[in-house]
Amino acid sequence: MIVRMWHGRVPAEKAAEYRHFLNRRAVADYRSVPGNISVHILERADGAVTHFVTMTFWESMAVIRGFAGSDVEAAKYYPQDRDFLLEFEPKVVHYEVVGQS
């Protein structure tokens, strides 16, 4: 199993709206992809900025490639992200899950 992690920052005053957007739109999109195991969205307030980390769990890198394309490290964005994000980080990170309970 592979976890794909993306990080984004939004102004704190937009955090609730962005959280709603992620849960409504992004979670449904990830879950619709065969081979997606689960989606977890983390949020951390940090003064005037709120950080979001999306962790998606996948069966394999081959499945991620089917979702993300040949450059599996390239971050994927929605057009609506322009209304929220302070910057567009170009890359995501992947980790192999080597333990779980």
- Report DSSP state, residue 24: I
- Nearest CA to 22 out of 74, 84, 70, 65 is that of 84
Q: How confident is the model at residue 15 (pLDDT cuts 50, 70, 90)?
A: very high
**1 pLDDT above the threshold of 90:** yes
The pLDDT tens digits of the residues spanning 30-55 come to 999 999 999 999 999 999 999 999 99
Q: Give all domains of the chain, ordered by start, each with its CATH number.
A: 2-96 (3.30.70.100)
- Nearest CA to 12 out of 81, 70, 84 is that of 84
**101 pLDDT above the threshold of 90:** no
pLDDT of residue 52: 98
**62 pLDDT above the threshold of 90:** yes
